[in-house]
Every structure is written in C-alpha cells, then in structure tokens.
Structure 1
Amino acid sequence: MASYDRSRAGGSPRPLETGDTWWYAAVAGEAPGSFSTRVRTRTRRACLGAVLVLTVTYAGLVLTATGRRWGDAAMAGRRADTVAATLIREHPSLTGLTTLSLATGCVLLLAVGLIRGRYALTGAAAGAVVTALALTGLLQRYAPRPPLPDPGGPLVPSGFPSAQTTLALGIALGLALVVPYRQRGLVVGAATLWAVGVGAHTVAAGRHRPGDVVAGALVALAVHCGLLALLARKGKVHPGARRGPALVGLPVTLPLLLLAAAGLGAGLWLLGPTLVPPATGAYDPAQLRLAHRCGQALAAGVVAAAGLLLLALLRRVELGGVPAHYRLDGPFVEAAGAPRDCELVDPFTEDLDHEIS
C-alpha cells in the first residue's frame, strides 16, 4: 500500500507532508481504531450506565417500601436539622434566587454559544437541555409510584426526577459544548458546583426528596452523553491539546472531586443505618436529622460526580466541525488542478481515465 493510503488511528494530527489520501476524511470516523470511534464508544457506555443507575435508583427509592420510608425520613429530617431549617427560615429569598439563577443560566448558555459563533453546538446544547426536561416531565407524570398513605400529611408527593436539578446540571453540562476548550474545566466545574447548590436547596426547602435530585442528575448526564456519542458519530470531534485545560480548571475541579468523594462516601456510609427501620417503629429526631444529611450528601456527591464524569469523557477532546487533516495526493492530483497548499478540490478530472471499472 502506498504511503498516502495509510490510515490514521487517531491521536494528534500528522504533518500534511505525510500524504494522507483525499478520501480518508469521509471514512476516518468509521475506522475501528479512529479517535471518533473511541469517543463514541465511551460516551455511549456512559449514557447506558447512567440509564442503568437511574433505573436502579427508581426501583430502590420509589418502588420499594424501604426506599420510600428513607425518603420520607430525609424529608422530615430537614426540620430536625437546625442548620438547614435556620438557613431556609432566615433567608427566604433563596427560593427566588434559585429560580433567577436558573433563568440566568439558560441565557448564559445561549449567549456564550452565539457570541462564539458555534450555532450548531449551541442548538445541540439547548436541545439536550430541553430533551432532559421533557424526559423529566414524562417520568414525573407517567412513572408508576405508590400513593402516599396520608395525602394530606406534611410530606410532598415524590417528584422523581427533580426538574430544577435536571435544568441546572443540564446547563452546566451544556456549557462544555460552547465554551473554549481551555476554559472548559473551569466553567463546567463552577457550573456543576452551582448545580450542587440548587439540588441541596430543593431538598432543604422540602420541594424534592434526595432520590429525586439524584435522578435529575442522571437524566441530564444520560442525555448529554447520548448527544456526545451522536456528535462523535457525525465526526464532530477531534483531538485537543494535551496540556493546559486541566491546569486551568484545577481550582474548581479539585474541590468538585473532593465534594464528590466526600458526598458519596459519607452518604453510602450513613445509608445503611438510616435504611434500617427503628425498633420502636418511629424515627427519633436524631435519626431524622441523620437521614436528611445522608440524603444531602448522596445528592451532592452524585451531581458533582456527573459533572466530573463528563469532563473526563471530554478529556483531550475538542468539539466542532474542524476539517480532518489530510492532503491531496496520488497520480491524478496534478491533472485535477490541486494547489500545493492542500486546498480541497475535486480530485476527478474531466477525462475519465481514473475511473475504476
């Protein structure tokens, strides 16, 4: 095989003088070892994994009596937790600020993409957010769940998943598509921390159970991973710089990593004692407070881990329709009138001597 017929298996682009064939751009994304294939494989697996974890969360926390009892205890524990109760009571404006921040986040997502001229990716990010919200609404409306034993009681019906968390994390993950490559870790990490705060507020204010926040994060992650797999399938990904983005985002991603590890670790450690019903049949205030803090830790850990996972999937991955690096070469290039600076032209000449019978 000639030198200009050797395929590229991904990695950093080779110099144009190496002579990649003119037709390779059409099939590079489908090569078994190509960069696009690797990105598509790992994002597709992440999407399926998020759907699987979402299914397990729904079955464990909504359909089982133990999971519902734990969610009820976490909801009731917000009143026993003096820190959360005092914060909500003394700062009632937090609810309005949360709503305002969600609207601002939507505007920011669109503004950044449009200002940078990434119209297709901006539309894709907005479509992913809308799709995640639509799936959340369908699950809230049609997912079967047992009714509350006391509809007039103090507990709110299960809002599985949380629309506020889905929207907040969807905006955070959508920013990964429109922000500059070198600022991706910094911007997405900061937005994920904001999404953690939105989820924590919805639980502390009694609007959603911790399981609803976890489910909202998983819905947003699954939709965005599916979108990235589609972009990779269309050849809209290419290798990014190996150095720079990780160091720029380190001031935000490091606290996010610690939050994810501490939240998941503490939440899983406290989950066992709070899932076991008390011997007396009723939770005391200390157990309710423990259940609430366990739910807050789990919700914060899952939201933070979702943002970190997307950043890990996009490590050294640049998004956008950048042309593939290849060079016109072969016996018919000069007859086709190809310039020496590798401008893409029609390689077929007027005479049909090059056609393969």
Structure 2
Amino acid sequence: MESGTWWYAAVAAEAPDSFHGRIRKRMRNGALGAVLLLAVVYAGLVLTATGQRWENTVTAGRVPDGRLSADQVAHWIPYEIAVSTLGLALLLLATVGILRKRYKPTVAALGVAIASTALAELLQRYVLHRPDLVGAPGHLLDGGFPSGHTTLAMSATLGFALVVPHRLRGIAVGVCALWATALGYYTLAAGWHRPADLIGADLLVLAMVCGTVALLARKRRVRPAPRRRAPLRTALVTTPVVLGVLAGLGAGVLLLSRSLGVPLPVDPSIARLAYESGQLLAAGTGLATALLLLALLRHVDFDDTAVQHRRIPEESDVEDEITGPFPVEHDHEIS
C-alpha cells in the first residue's frame, strides 16, 4: 500500500479505501434520491391539475402579504436586501475558505453555487415548463421551476459545510438554513415563485452538493473527522432547525389536506390555509435539506491534500521489528 499518514486508518477504524468508497456511495445515493424527489415534486405539483389548483390557491391566499410586492414596486428596498444578503453570503463563504486555506473545497462550494444557479435558470427557461392545465389567470403563471433565488441561497448554505471547521459545521449550516428559509418566505410572499419552485430548488442544490462530495471522495479529498460529542452551542442552533422541520412539514401536510384540490375562486379562509401550508412545506423542506446534508457528512472532514496511507503494522510485525527472527536474551546481573 502507499505510504503516508499513519493515523488515517486508525481514526477511520477501517481500511482507507473502504472509507472513501463508503462516503462516495453514500453521497451518490443522496444525489440520486434528491433527483428522484425533484422529479416527484415537479410531476405532482406542476404537471397535474390538482397540484396546479393548490398552488393557484396558495398564490391567491398571499393577498394579506401583498404589501411586500407593493414595497418592491415602490422603492425596491426588499429586493435589494435579498440580493445583497446573497452576495454577502457567498463572499463570507469564500473568505472563510481562503482564511482556512481550504482552497479546493472553497472552489468546489463556489462552483456548486454557480453551477446550481445556472442549471436552475436553464431548467426553468427551457426544460421544466409549467403548462396551464386549469385555465389560471395570467398573473398566476409567473415564476419558474425551480427558483433561482432559493437555489443560490441554499447553495451558499450547504456550501459552508465544505469550508468551515467540522466542529462548527452544525452552527454555520443551521444559522444559514434559517436565513435561507426566511429568504424563501419572502420569495413566496412577494409572489415571485410557488411552493414547488422553492422545494425543487432545495432538492436541486442537495443533489449538486452530494455529487460534488462524491467527486471529492473519489479524489481522496475527504478524511475521517474526530468523533466527539456535539457541544452545547451546536445544539442551541440545530434544535430550532429540527423543531422547524417537524413543525413545518407536519403542519404543512395537515393544512395541505384541508386546502388541496379546491378550484378558484375559493373562500378567503381556504386560500389563506393553502398559503400557510405552502409556506410551512417550503420552510420545512429547506431546513430538512440542511439537516440531511449534515447527517450525510457526519464524521466526514475535508482537506486540500489527497490523503495517502500505509498499512498499519500488525502485532506480529511489531514483534518482528523489535526482536527480529531471534529472541533477545536479557542480561542478568549476578550478585
């Protein structure tokens, strides 16, 4: 076997090739699962009349939040804030990676953000169209699948998992996930996109990040992280994220069942239930995406140098190295 860091297999508690192969397989499965869920969301909410009716009802139910759109038209401050926070997040991501001298993971994280956003734009413009199956008004047909803003926000969020220290990964990704969820809320409330667009963007980014990590594992740019208990500061961030996932998905599904399949025009109370269910489902999916990536990257760290390794000497080898083929007779002092 190749020579190199002697501690590698000892920390991994398995053969180095097995560790890289296991991580590569895990991330490939994660990417495939995200793509399949993306196809299910697109088929169920975009390509069916029932899904389109529900999303039309969601859009109709955002009337009480119409002031966001009015503010945007009046002076563009909400839009500028949203765009500036995206830029600051990417700048912070690059800064952290450069300061830690994790150049290749940083390039990979920024590459995921750029590639995911470009792919989202291509998909919504040329591939994943939203046909009008229910004769909806023109203003309800705006927005493409998946959302470009949400794609960029989620790619920055998940990108921090590649550049921050392992012990701070939960804090960084958890805080950014809450920020990305808030940005998604604004996107939906302002009428730019529908719930399916946000959910699809989250799944698209998850697939891209998992594929990138699988490539890093193939290039031996990953290594085992120390196994230690999560500190209290991590729990203070991840606990609200977990609660947000449970509350968002649970309450969203409950409200969805009460407002699904109702044609327009509907009672304002039903439309509001649909809008709230869309917000909750989108928020729950975004937070769940961040938690899922953290789970997939558990005990996995990133390095800029390809990890080399050598065989750990067995007990018999150690004895041969110490004693050789012949036993050593110890001198005995005669008194």
Q: Scaled by the length of structure 1, what TM-score is found?
A: 0.78
Cα separation, partners in 2 of 1:122 and 1:274, compared to 1, 3 Å: same
> How many Å apart are 1:182 and its aligned residue?
1.1
- Cα distance in 2 for residues equivalent to 1:127 and 1:199: 22
Quick one: which amino acid aligns to residue 318 of structure 1? D
* Cα deviation digits, residues 58-90 of structure 1 (max 9, x gap): 0011111111111111011000xx3x3456667
Matched residue, 1:112:
96
AA in 1 matched with 2:294: L
Aligned residue in 1 for 2:183: 198
Tell me the secondary structure at the aligned position of residue 62 of structure 2. helix
**Higher relative contact order (CA closer than 8 Å, sequence separation 6+):** 2
Structure 2 residue aligned with 1:101, among 85, 90, 113?
85
Deviations, residues 192-211 of structure 1 (Å, cap 9, x unaligned): 11111111110001111011
Deviation, 1:274, is: 1.3
Name 1:141's counterpart in structure 2: 125
Opposite residue 150 of structure 2, the aligned amino acid is: T
Alignment of 1:256-335 (within 5 A): 256-277=241-262, 282-320=265-303, 321=305, 323-326=307-310
Q: Where does structure 1 lack aligned partners over 5 or more consecutive residues?
A: 15-19, 331-357
The answer to whether the 8 Å contact 2:97/2:103 transfers is yes
- Cα distance, 1:95–1:144 mapped onto 2, change above 3 Å: closer
CA distance in 2, matches of 1:271, 1:103: 34
Q: Which amino acid in structure 1 is aligned with residue 164 of structure 2? A: V
Structure number with higher helix proportion: 2
Question: What displacement does 1:148 show?
Answer: 7.6
Count matched residues: 305
In structure 2, give the amino acid aligned to 1:77.
G
Given candidates 66, 91, 107, the residue that maps to 1:123 is 107
Query: CA-atom RMSD, angstroms?
Result: 2.8
The answer to whether 1:243 aligns with 2:242 is no
- CA–CA separation in structure 1 for the residues paired with 2:312 and 2:233: 38
User: CA distance change for structure 1 residues 134 and 313 in 2, over 3 Å: closer, same or farther?
Assistant: same
Distance, in Å, in 2 between the alignment partners of 1:86 and 1:157 is 18
Q: Secondary structure at the match of 2:138?
A: coil
The CA deviation at 1:153 is 3.5
Taking only the aligned residue pairs, the percentage that are identical comes to 45
Q: 1:49 aligns with which of 22, 33, 37?
A: 33
Contact in 1 for aligned 2:34/2:204 (Cα 8 Å): yes
* Closer/same/farther in 2, CA of residues 329 and 120 from structure 1, 3 Å limit: same
**How far 1:40 moved relative to its partner?**
1.4
- In structure 2, do the counterparts of structure 1 residues 236 and 247 end up closer, same or farther at CA, with 3 Å as the change threshold? farther
What residue number does 1:335 align with? none
Deviates more, 1:245-254 or 1:66-75: 245-254
Give the direction of change, closer, same or farther, for the CA distance of 1:10–1:196 in structure 2 (3 Å limit). farther
- Between 1:248-257 and 1:207-216, the stretch displaced more is 248-257
1:276 alignment partner, SS class: coil
CA apart distance, 1:150: 6.6
Q: For the residues of structure 2 that align with 1:54 and 1:299, how far apart are their CA atoms?
A: 13
Q: What TM-score do the two structures reach when normalised by structure 2?
A: 0.83
SS of the counterpart of 1:318? strand
| 1:11/1:37 CA distance change after superposition, 3 Å | farther
Partner of 1:348: none
Displacement of 1:39 after TM fit?
1.3
Unaligned runs of 5+ in 2: 315-335
Q: C-alpha separation between the residues in 2 aligned to 1:70 and 1:126?
A: 35
Q: Deviations over 1:284-336 (max 9, x none)?
A: 10011000000000000000000000111111111113634536989xxxxxx
1:269 partner letter: L
- 1:132 pairs with one of 90, 104, 116: 116
